[in-house]
Amino acid sequence: MPSVSQLPQSSGYKKYLIWVIPFIALIALVVLMQASGNGQTETPPTDANKLLVDVMPIEWHNSYLQKRLVVGSAEALQTAAIGFDLAGSVIDILVDEGQRVVKGQTLAKLDDTRLKAQMHELSAILNRAKSEANLAELSLKRVVELVNRKLESAQRLDEATESLNAAKAFVDEIVARQQSLQVELNKTQLFAPFNGSVVSRFVDKGTVVGVGQKLFTLQQNAQLEARFALAADYANKFSVNQEVTLSTESHQVSGKIKSIAQQRRLDTRTVDVITSLEQANLAILPGELLYMDVSSEITAQGFWVPRKALVSGVRGLWSLFAVKAIDDEYQLQAKLVEMIYADDKKAFVRGALQEGDVIVYQGVQRLVPGQKVLKSDNTHTLASILLGNF
């Protein structure tokens, strides 16, 4: 058991520890904070740490070319859906889809047995009518002789004359009926109305068809034409017989404006412009897509810049990085611009830019406003950037 004289000394020692321990902790905290602050102190970037950026000067323009391609389709000059004028059974199909035909070629045949039987019947009736007409003519001759000899009356002569006329009229009637039936017989064969090819066939042999039922679709294989649906403003820029250049996926073709519709289509509110293609362009097939250039010059003030130089901004605006010399160093400044027109490679913009400003045209995703950079010694033009000539 400690003595009484030792108690005050133990109490003083504890009191001393109560003040020393927080003081030591405070000193340690200050030291740690200074060490942490010294580790985060930014050092000015050296030239070795600055990014090298590719730049180009911009030029002021008072207008831009708005490129626009209108899509049309090649069409055959004539396309016909053909069928028989008669009803009947199809006994023969002589052509198939894709086959070329010439004008007057037989495409199909109908069963004509009934019509031929009627023709034989009319032939027999015609022979009988001709015999009756011959008999009436002989009777008339005898009556004329008897009348001349005063052995018959004039009434009998009139009757004989009219009998002969009636017999001849009956013969003419039978001949006319034969001719009409021959027309029907001719219609049992379906002929090609023009040189072309069979696009589609809709019936087979043995099918019973009605009057006017479609059997084939034919298209002419000669000169083609292209139909374009244009807005009225664009259609008014063309004139009949104007030469135009059209293009396909692989090559260009020449054409001439054949006609311009004088009314809008109700479904699309567009105006049809029909262009005839040159005879040398027969390699184009009906239904192939063709493109017509209807580009126009638009009056507007701004600058052409590469699309890859733009950074998406706020409220529909875009940003460009301009390189400015500040205190003998190059620094980036963000310029807000409005995109007026753009194609797949370049854009026409306006905003806080001036003639001769130098902008960064690629690698902008690595940059931030105020960043210090190194400017490339090679300054490119817009044309060389778009063509990749660097």
Residue-wise pLDDT tens digits, 171-189: 999 999 999 999 999 999 9
- Shared domain check, 366 and 279: no
Residue 214 lies in a domain: no
Mean pLDDT of 5-32: 64
224 and 255 assigned to the same domain: yes
Q: Is the pLDDT of residue 384 over 70?
A: yes
Residues 117, 194, single domain; the answer is: yes
Q: CA 26, 32, 34: angle at the middle one, nearest 5?
A: 105
Q: Give the end of a domain, one of 296, 312, 337.
A: 296
Label residue 280 by pLDDT band (50, 70, 90).
low
- Which CATH number fits the domain that encloses residue 243? 2.40.30.170
Question: How far is Cα 31 from Cα 25, in angstroms, rounded to an integer?
Answer: 10
108 shares its domain with 191: yes
Domain annotation covers residue 232: yes
Confidence of residue 6 (pLDDT cuts 50, 70, 90): very low
73 forms beta bridges with: 227, 289
Residue 33 lies in a domain: no
Residue 153, in any domain of the structure: yes
- Is the model's pLDDT at 37 over the cut of 60? no
| Closest listed residue to residue 337, CA positions, set 369, 309, 366 | 309
Q: Does one domain contain both 93 and 171?
A: yes
Q: Indicate if 291 and 304 belong to the same structural domain.
A: no
19, part of any domain? no
Instruction: State how many domains the chain has.
Output: 3
- Residue 14 inside a domain? The answer is no
Q: What is the mean pLDDT of residues 7-33?
A: 65
- On whether both 121 and 225 belong to a single domain, the answer is no
Structure tokens at 319: 């940003």
Tens-digit pLDDT profile for residues 282-302:
577 888 889 988 888 889 999
CA–CA dist 127, 351 (Å, integer): 100
The phi, psi pair for 253, rounded to 5°, reads -135, 155
Structure-block tokens of residue 130: 């001709």
pLDDT band at 4 (very low <50, low <70, confident <90, very high): very low
pLDDT score recorded for residue 356: 85
Please check whether residues 265 and 311 belong to one and the same domain.
no
172 with 251, same domain: the answer is no
Q: What is the pLDDT of residue 29?
A: 76
Amino acid at 11: S
Q: What is the pLDDT of residue 125?
A: 93
Residues 265 and 345 in one domain: no
Name the amino acid, one letter, at 48: A
Q: Give the residue from 246, 278, 296 where a domain finishes.
A: 296
Domain annotation covers residue 40: no
pLDDT, tens digit (0-9, with 9 covering 90-100), for 223-237? 788 999 988 888 888
- Which of 43-52, 133-142, 363-372 bottoms out in mean pLDDT, i.e. has the lowest? 43-52
- For residue 112, what pLDDT band results from cuts at 50, 70 and 90? very high
Q: Tell me which residue of 193, 197, 192, 191 sits closest to 76, measured CA to CA.
A: 197
Residue 5 binned pLDDT confidence (cut-offs 50, 70, 90): very low
Instruction: State which of 277, 296, 315 marks the end of a domain.
Output: 296
Residue 166 makes CB contacts below 8 A (sequence gap 6+) with 136
Q: Note whether 286 and 352 are same-domain residues.
A: no
DSSP state at residue 56 = E
Are 307 and 272 within one domain?
no
- Is the model's pLDDT at 45 over the cut of 60? no
Residue 212 domain-assigned (yes or no): no
The boundaries of the domain holding residue 247 are: 70-77+220-296
The mean pLDDT value of the chain amounts to 84
